[in-house]
Amino acid sequence: MTSPYLQGCVRQAEAAGARGITLALDLRLAAQPGQFVMLWLPRMDEKPFSLADGDPVTLTIVSAGPCTARLQHLRVGDPVYLRGPLGHGFSLAAERPLLVAGGAGAAPLAFLTRRLREAGRPVTVALGARTADDLLLAERLAGLGARVLVSTDDGTAGTHGLVTELAARLLASNAHDHVYACGPAPMLDGVAALCHEYGVPGEVSREAHMRCGTGICGSCDRGDGLLVCRDGPVFPL
Ligand SMILES: Cc1cc2nc3c(=O)[nH]c(=O)nc-3n(C[C@H](O)[C@H](O)[C@H](O)COP(=O)(O)OP(=O)(O)OC[C@H]3O[C@@H](n4cnc5c(N)ncnc54)[C@H](O)[C@@H]3O)c2cc1C
């Protein structure tokens, strides 16, 4: 039987904020922004991570528990095993998109930024984090040609407050026709409320505990008949 795992190795590893790492691998995937991979750590576990890019495969991983802590120690040349791309990604429907990122949610939005910029769209990113140390991929997003506006919960970088407050100000200016968001569930609920208030369509990438990543085990059942891995992780609002 052919293995579902792709084997590659780390080509580049650099710090992402104070608790994260961005890994570029020697692999390419024909993937949509918003799709994810299951990264396997032999003798430990397998965990889902969004593609921060597909060519080369790039992942930004923030330390949250045992696996993500161990992944911080990967170095150039280390082997990596993954399955994917999995799930459904973002549409590229927007003419004047606003991207709203919270914490590690910046990863799939970096890939989306690249694709939207290649399609000639002006991209604005509201990039939020708890503190300046937790901000991810600001330089990468700016380097891709996005207008990046930062907010932190404690005011240590950018504007002081929640990223949804920043997004509300941007939507009030009427400059955006579509919202894409990825981040913690309360932030996504806030974005959904804003899209409703301003009458702007949106798509959000949701997280859930996953085991198989392919719709078999049911771990990521949302309770409404939809599985985050199979039917998402990107859902229209
Ligand atoms: C589709 C998808 C894409 C993701 N993309 C990224 C990414 O690009 N970068 C990144 O850093 N992380 C991402 N994650 C989250 C990442 O998978 C978890 O942080 C990781 O599985 C934690 O594993 P761990 O063993 O280190 O910690 P664990 O001990 O498994 O978890 C640590 C803490 O985080 C919580 N947690 C773990 N997984 C999830 C989850 N899926 N949803 C909500 N809470 C969770 C646990 O309840 C626990 O409190 C993504 C998750 C999904 C489902």
Ligand 1 center–CA 68 separation, angstroms:
8
Token pair of 225 as six digits: 């008949």
Q: Is the peptide bond before 42 cis (omega within 30 degrees of 0)?
A: no
- Residue 187 CA to ligand 1 center (angstroms) comes to 16
Ligand 1 atom closest to the CA of 51, numbered from 1? 8
| Distance (Å) from CA 1 to ligand 1 centroid | 30
217/236 Cα distance (integer angstroms): 23
Tell me, in angstroms, the distance from the centre of ligand 1 to residue 49's CA: 8
Share of the chain above pLDDT 90, in %: 94
Ligand 1 atom closest to residue 61's alpha carbon, by position in its atom list: 11
Burial of residue 41 (CB within 10 Å: 0-12, 13-18, 19+) is middle
Q: What is the mean pLDDT of residues 20-33?
A: 97
Q: How many CA atoms lie within 13 A of 154 on its CB side?
A: 7
Give the pLDDT band of residue 1 (cuts 50, 70, 90). Answer: low
Same fold, 6-86 and 97-205: no
Q: Is the CB of 137 under 6 A from ligand 1?
A: no
Ligand 1, atom nearest to 49 Cα: 5
pLDDT, mean of residues 201-218 = 94
Say what the pLDDT of residue 168 is.
97
pTM: 0.95
Beta carbon of 124 within 6 Å of any ligand 1 atom:
no
How many angstroms separate the alpha carbon of residue 63 from the centre of ligand 1?
9
Mutate to test the pocket of ligand 1, among 35, 68, 74 (most ligand atoms within 8 A of CB): 68
Distance 205 CA to ligand 1 centre (A): 13
Given the candidates 3.20.20.10, 3.40.50.80, 3.40.50.720, 1.20.1080.10, the CATH classification of the domain at 97-205 is: 3.40.50.80
Encode pLDDT of 131-187 as tens digits: 999 999 999 999 999 999 999 999 999 999 999 999 999 999 989 999 999 999 999
Find out whether the beta carbon of 182 lies less than 6 Å from any atom of ligand 1. Answer: no
Cβ atoms 156, 181 nearer than 8 A: no
User: Degrees (nearest 5) of the Cα angle 135, 35, 49?
Assistant: 50
**Contact 141 CB / ligand 1 (< 6 Å):** no
Q: What are the pLDDT digits (tens) for 35-92?
A: 999 999 888 899 999 999 999 999 999 999 999 999 999 999 999 999 999 999 999 9
Q: Quote the CA–CA distance of 229 and 88 in Å, as a whole number.
A: 8
Task: State the architecture of 6-86 in CATH terms.
Answer: Beta Barrel (2.40)
Our CA dihedral for 213, 216, 222, 224, rounded to 10 degrees, sits at 140
Mean pLDDT over 94-98 rounds to: 95
The structural domains of the chain, with segments of one domain joined by +, span 6-86, 97-205
Peptide bond between residue 108 and the one before it cis (omega within 30 degrees of 0): no
Is 60 near ligand 1, meaning CB less than 6 Å away?
A: yes
